[in-house]
């Protein structure tokens, strides 16, 4: 019976299968990047990959989980700091970047127990306080030497070109890995539960969703991703100055990329990161006017395209490249009364 059921749950389309294929091909091409790209392009792309990580993790947290945090720089800074500490303790430098992010993820778990009890605005501010506290604590470490900072000297063991390529590959792997994990997570039943919590926490609990545990998963995953981005940023700049890493600017960038690209859409933030990267490349040198421009752009988007570029595309064209939803396809040609469809659905 079920094989002939007139009702099917659809998750993929030809377009989305094609998009994933293109994404895979692009990843392979990018992986070969250091073989044919110049040092400058490699560095630029590394930066872009880090921006994408920042955008997709903030979107997962805020756009899908409804958890608007303005303190993600806490994890960005801790990721970098963790890498400095681990490298100092003798851990090989590239594994140290990933290990630092894992450790930050572990620390994020107990933090989540406190923070996720806070509602909306309180949570946002609370996270900012967490970032300020993390910054203070890191400054107490003698290794960091206050705001003077320190550097990831272990990186100097590599020749410049090797180092740039290794950092590039690590960033690419981190970006693709995180996008993959988030895509799988958001498509899973857990992802549906996360969105249900975003839309209505009490109603989610009323249909059996374990709200706290579910939010914790997305919170920790986002913390891990941002920490990885922070550690990678350290690998690109080598120097660690707490003020730079624990700066709220990182979260501002995340918010910009996600709002412009499309909050709560899977594709949008990736697009937002690319746009942000381009804007920075063109106008970044203009100092304060660049920041004013960013702010104005974010405001315009919030006013006129509240769902961002991809939200607009989705609304206009119904274009879904990387769909996480579920759609029912009802075969209209099959004879179907209400009760008939019930039977065939339940077999």
Partner 1 sequence: MTAESNGVVLSTSGIHKRFNALVVLDAIDFSLRSHEAVGIVGPNGAGKTTLLSVLAGAHPPTSGTIHFRGADVTGLPASERCRLGIVRTHQIPQPFSGMTVFENVFVAATNGGQLHREAAHARAIEAISLCGMMRLANRRAETLGLLDRKRLELARALGANPSVLLLDEIGGGLTDGEASELVATIRQLHASGLAIVWIEHIVHILLQVAERLICMDAGRIIADGEPRAVMADNAVISAYLGGSVH
What is the binding site for partner 1 (CB under 8 A)?
2, 7, 9, 189, 192-193, 195-196, 198-200, 202-211, 264, 325-328, 330, 338-339, 341-342, 345-347
- C-alpha angle 281/286/291, rounded to 5°? 85
Shortest Cβ 113–partner 1 spacing (Å): 15
Picking from 274, 294, 245, the residue whose alpha carbon sits closest to that of residue 139 is 245
Nearer residue to partner 1 within complex by CB, 210 or 243: 210
* Residue (7 or 305) nearer to partner 1, CB: 7
Q: Which two tokens stand for residue 90?
A: 């003798």
- Least distance (Å) from partner 1 to the CB of residue 188? 9
Q: CB-wise, 188 or 286, nearer to partner 1? A: 188
Give min distance, CB of 238 to partner 1, in A. Answer: 42
Cα distance from N-terminal residue to C-terminal residue, the chain? 6
Q: Kindly provide the residue ranges of all beta strands, DSSP E only, lying in 45-171, ordered along the sequence.
A: 150-151
Within 10 angstroms of residue 270's Cβ, the number of other Cβ atoms is 24
Q: Closest distance between partner 1 and the C-beta of residue 184, in Å?
A: 15
Of residues 178, 175, 176, 210, the one with CA closest to residue 194: 210
Pick 133 or 190: Cβ nearer partner 1: 190
d(CA 172, CA 49): 6
Cβ 285 to partner 1 shortest distance, Å: 39
Measured from the CB atom, is 119 or 326 closer to partner 1? 326
Residue entry with tokens 């070109």: 161
DSSP 282-339: HHGGGTHHHHHHHHHHHHHHHHH-TTHHHHHHHHHH---SS----EEEE-TTS---HH
Min CB(307)–partner 1 separation in Å: 11
In terms of CB distance, is 148 or 206 closer to partner 1?
Answer: 206
Q: Are 276 and 182 in contact (CB under 8 A)?
A: no
């Amino acid at each position: 019976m079920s094989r002939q059921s007139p009702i099917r749950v659809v998750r993929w389309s030809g377009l989305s299968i094609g998009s994933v294929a293109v994404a895979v091909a692009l990843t392979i091409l990018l992986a070969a990047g250091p073989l044919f790209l110049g040092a400058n392009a490699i560095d630029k792309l590394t930066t872009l990959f880090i921006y994408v990580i920042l955008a997709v993790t903030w979107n997962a947290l805020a756009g899908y989980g409804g958890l608007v945090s303005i303190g993600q720089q806490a994890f960005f800074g801790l990721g970098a700091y963790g890498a400095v500490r681990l490298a100092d303790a003798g851990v090989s430098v590239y594994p140290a970047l990933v290990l630092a992010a894992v450790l930050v993820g572990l620390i994020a778990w107990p933090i989540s127990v406190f923070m996720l009890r806070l509602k909306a605005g309180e949570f946002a501010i609370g996270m900012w306080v967490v970032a300020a506290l993390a910054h203070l604590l890191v400054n107490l470490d003698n290794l960091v030497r206050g705001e003077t900072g320190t550097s990831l000297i272990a990186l100097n063991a590599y020749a410049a070109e090797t180092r740039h390529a290794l950092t590039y590959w690590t960033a690419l792997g981190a970006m693709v890995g995180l996008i993959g994990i988030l895509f799988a997570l958001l498509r899973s039943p857990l992802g549906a539960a996360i969105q249900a919590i975003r839309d209505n926490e009490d109603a989610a609990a009323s249909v059996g969703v374990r709200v706290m545990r579910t939010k914790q998963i997305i919170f920790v995953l986002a913390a891990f991703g941002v920490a990885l981005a922070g550690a990678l940023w350290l690998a690109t700049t080598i120097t660690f100055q707490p003020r730079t890493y624990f700066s709220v600017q990182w979260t501002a960038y995340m918010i910009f990329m996600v709002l412009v690209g499309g909050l709560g859409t899977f594709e949008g933030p990736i697009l937002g990161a690319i746009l942000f990267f381009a804007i920075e490349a063109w106008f970044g040198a203009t100092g304060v006017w660049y920041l004013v421009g960013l702010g104005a752009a974010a405001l315009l988007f919030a006013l006129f395209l509240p769902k961002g570029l991809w939200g607009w595309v989705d609304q206009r064209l119904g274009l879904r490249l990387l769909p996480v939803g579920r759609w029912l396809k009802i075969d209209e040609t099959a004879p179907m009364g209400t009760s008939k469809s019930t039977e065939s659905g339940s077999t």
